[in-house]
Every structure is written in structure tokens, then in C-alpha cells.
């Protein structure tokens, strides 16, 4: 059986971390959905920069848009919103048949708004209205301002993919923002069931940085290399289960609220010494999502070994984090540094996008 379909039997969704007009026009995305059970799509500025820079299907539309008195950002949105709408429509049956539990497409607000809560809320509401599809997720970074915006967007009934999470502290703060937003929406008489949120925890970059810190210290700590991100994800999943399947969530769940599933992001292995499925095979579990770049999706299809692994070795994961703390490695600080670096990368990609559409 196709390993991608086996994953689904364990309650995990596979989403594609890519979108382009080539994927849509040439039927690749439709085949991923039909043959591999791909149940969602995530995007970011880097993905759209590559799509527009390399994709032949954008040239005529971009040339026409450049004849109009529009800002570079407005031209960018005019190019990508139709792609997002098409992807939403392709996944609409998946969304409908799952009663809204899957079948989503993510579109990110401008990285320039990462520290602007009001601007993020305004952009999220505007993009939701522009795409006008029930299976859209507005992507918002887990910055301090982003957390304020997430709460307000959820309270306004907007579904949100929280991005650029790199630590357990980020996971806790994001979940609390989601819960506060749901409580406000419920208090205002709003419907909770149509609101979806996922919490995207980035993995490979954590190992890249922590491995470097371990190598600086040397000795027995070298044995911890390549294990931090998986340990973090397993601990995050334990916290998810306690939060969303415990007594504290019962009242909201009874009113129709959905849990906020963990989404494993940045799952392409960066260190060639590690398995190409390091961030896939050990993290298969119910009520989770793994969003895969094309190469990792192909690797999983080709040689993935599928089992329910996410709840294995939880005590070992906790011991791993204790060892990091004993070595003076501050995982909260690691998360903040990686978030800042991730924002800088998205800002650079977005600047490149606007240069293309200027």
C-alpha cells in the first residue's frame, strides 16, 4: 500500500508544502490529492517567489498587471489569490467529506506585519474576504504581535495557521491565544465549528542550530545531535493532548470548538547525514498534520516505514530536554533566535516577490 495512504490510517494528515500554477495547470496537485491522499496545502513567501520566478504560467498575467496602476503587493496578490482559490476548490470535497477537519489551503499575511497586530488583523480579514473560500487558513507568525492578532482573528471567526513556531514556549502561547479567541467568539454568540486553527512547529531548523551548540560543547553531548526536534514534537503532542482532551476544553468542545492540531513544518531534512524522513517516520500520530515539500513527499511514497510512533519514547524526549538544559542550552532562547531568523528569511523572500511584481 502507498505509505502516504497508510499514514492516514493512523489519523495523520499529509499536506503539501508547495503551491504553484504549474502544480495546478499540469494536474500534479490533483494527482497528489487523488492518488496520495494529500489533504491540504501550505504556502509561504519563499514558495510563491519560486513559483512566480520560475513558472511560465504567470508571465502573461504579470505583464498585464504591470500595465495597471497597482502596487507591487497588489499585483502579487492578484497573481496568487486565484491559485489559492483553485487549490481550495480542488480540496473542497476533502473539506466537506471530513466535516471541516481537513482540506485546507494556507495564505500568509505580509511578513512586514509580523510586529503589527492591527495590520495583521486587517490583512487577515481582507485576504479571507478576497479568497472567499471556507477552507482557507490565514497564516500568521507566532510573534508577540502575532499572538494578539491570532486571538482577535479567531474571535472574529477567521481560521488561522500559526507559523514560525520553534519552541514548546511558542506552542503554549499559541494554544492559549487560540483558546482566548474561541472564548470571545463563543461569548459573542458566534459559531465555533466553522473555525479551524493549526499550530505549525518548525523542526529541521531546530536541529541545525542545536546540533551546532552541542558540537561547540562536545563530549557526551554529541550523542544528542539530530534528536532535539523529534523530542520537542513529541513533548508538544503530549501537551496538546492534555490541553485539548482534558477537562479545560470540554465546554468549548461542547459548543462545537475544534482542537488546534499540531502541524509538523520544516520537515525536509537539512543534514545529509540524517534520514530523509527524520521528521516524518518518528512523528506519526492521530490528530496531527505533516506538511511535506515535494522531495520529502516523494521519499515517503518511495520508502516510508509507517507505524504509530509519535507517542513512543516520551520519557526519553523529556530526558533529552533535561540534558540540553543541564548543558546550558536555552531552548526558549533557541526558539526566539530561530523565529527572528525565519522572519528575516520570509521578509527577504517577500522583498524578492515585490521586486518581481514591481
Tens digits of residue pLDDT in 140-157:
999 999 999 999 999 999
Distance of alpha carbon 304 from alpha carbon 269, whole angstroms = 14
Share of residues in the chain with pLDDT > 70 (%): 100
Contact 164, 142 (CB under 8 A): yes
Distance of alpha carbon 87 from alpha carbon 137, whole angstroms = 12
Coil, helix or strand for 195? coil
Please, which contacts does 119-124 make with residues 24 or more away whose CB atoms are closer than 8 Å?
Answer: 120/145, 120/146, 120/149, 120/153, 121/149, 121/152, 121/153, 121/156, 124/149, 124/153, 124/158, 124/160
pLDDT value at residue 56: 86
Read off the pLDDT of each residue in 33-62 and give the average, rounded to a whole number. 94
C-alpha cell at 94: 476533502
Which band of pLDDT confidence, cut at 50, 70 and 90, is reported for residue 290?
A: very high
Residues, the chain: 358
Residues annotated as catalytic are 139
- 266 HSE (CA, 13 A, CB side): 22
> CATH number, domain at 284?
3.20.20.70
Distance of alpha carbon 124 from alpha carbon 126, whole angstroms = 5
Read off the pLDDT of each residue in 90-106 and give the average, rounded to a whole number. 98
Distance of alpha carbon 148 from alpha carbon 277, whole angstroms = 35
Longest Cα–Cα distance of the chain, Å, equals 62
Distance of alpha carbon 162 from alpha carbon 160, whole angstroms = 6
pLDDT value at residue 172: 98
CA 32 from centre of chain: 18
Share of residues in the chain with pLDDT > 90 (%): 99
Distance of alpha carbon 338 from alpha carbon 350, whole angstroms = 18
Which band of pLDDT confidence, cut at 50, 70 and 90, is reported for residue 125?
A: very high
Indicate if the pLDDT at residue 163 is higher than 90.
yes
Distance of alpha carbon 91 from alpha carbon 39, whole angstroms = 7
Read off the pLDDT of each residue in 67-95 and give the average, rounded to a whole number. 97
Indicate if the pLDDT at residue 55 is higher than 90.
no
Read off the pLDDT of each residue in 283-289 and give the average, rounded to a whole number. 98
Look at the chain and report how many structural domains it folds into.
Answer: 1
- C-alpha torsion sign, points 170, 171, 172, 174: positive
Read off the pLDDT of each residue in 9-31 and give the average, rounded to a whole number. 97
pLDDT value at residue 254: 97
Domain residues for the domain of 64 are 3-357
What would you report as the CA-atom Rg of the chain, rounded to the nearest whole angstrom?
20
Amino acid at each position: 500500500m502507498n505509505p502516504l495512504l497508510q499514514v492516514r490510517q493512523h489519523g495523520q494528515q499529509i499536506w503539501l508544502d508547495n503551491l504553484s500554477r504549474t502544480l495546478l495547470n499540469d494536474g500534479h496537485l490533483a494527482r497528489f490529492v487523488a492518488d496520495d491522499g494529500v489533504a491540504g496545502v501550505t504556502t509561504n513567501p519563499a514558495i510563491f517567489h519560486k513559483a512566480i520566478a520560475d513558472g511560465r504560467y504567470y508571465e502573461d498575467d504579470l505583464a498585464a498587471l504591470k500595465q495597471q496602476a497597482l502596487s507591487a503587493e497588489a499585483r502579487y496578490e492578484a497573481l496568487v489569490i486565484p491559485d489559492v482559490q483553485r487549490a481550495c476548490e480542488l480540496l473542497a470535497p476533502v473539506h466537506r467529506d471530513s466535516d471541516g477537519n481537513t482540506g485546507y489551503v494556507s495564505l500568509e499575511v505580509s511578513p512586514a506585519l509580523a510586529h503589527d497586530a492591527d495590520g495583521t488583523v486587517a490583512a487577515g480579514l481582507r485576504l479571507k474576504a478576497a479568497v472567499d473560500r471556507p477552507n482557507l487558513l490565514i497564516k500568521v507568525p507566532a510573534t508577540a504581535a502575532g499572538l494578539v492578532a491570532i486571538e482577535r482573528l479567531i474571535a472574529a471567526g477567521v481560521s488561522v495557521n500559526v507559523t514560525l513556531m520553534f519552541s514548546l514556549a511558542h506552542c503554549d502561547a499559541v494554544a492559549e491565544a487560540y483558546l482566548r479567541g474561541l472564548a470571545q467568539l463563543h461569548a459573542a454568540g458566534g459559531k465555533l465549528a466553522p473555525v479551524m486553527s493549526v499550530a505549525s512547529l518548525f523542526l529541521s531548523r531546530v536541529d541545525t542550530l542545536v546540533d551546532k551548540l552541542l558540537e561547540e560543547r562536545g563530549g557526551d553531548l554529541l550523542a544528542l545531535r539530530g534528536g532535539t526536534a523529534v523530542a520537542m514534537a513529541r513533548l508538544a503532542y503530549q501537551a496538546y493532548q492534555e490541553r485539548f482532551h482534558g477537562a479545560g476544553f470540554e465546554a468549548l468542545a461542547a459548543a462545537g470548538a475544534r482542537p488546534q492540531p499540531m502541524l509538523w513544518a520544516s520537515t525536509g531534512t537539512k543534514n545529509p547525514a540524517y534520514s530523509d524522513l527524520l521528521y516524518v517516520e518518528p512523528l506519526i500520530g492521530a490528530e496531527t498534520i505533516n506538511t511535506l515539500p515535494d522531495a520529502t513527499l516523494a521519499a515517503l511514497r518511495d520508502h516510508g516505514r509507517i507505524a504509530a510512533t509519535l507517542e513512543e519514547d516520551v520519557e526519553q524526549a523529556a530526558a533529552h530536554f533535561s540534558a540540553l538544559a543541564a548543558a546550558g542550552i536555552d531552548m526558549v532562547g533557541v526558539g526566539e533566535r530561530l523565529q527572528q531568523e525565519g522572519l528575516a528569511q520570509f521578509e527577504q523572500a517577500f522583498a524578492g516577490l515585490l521586486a518581481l511584481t514591481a
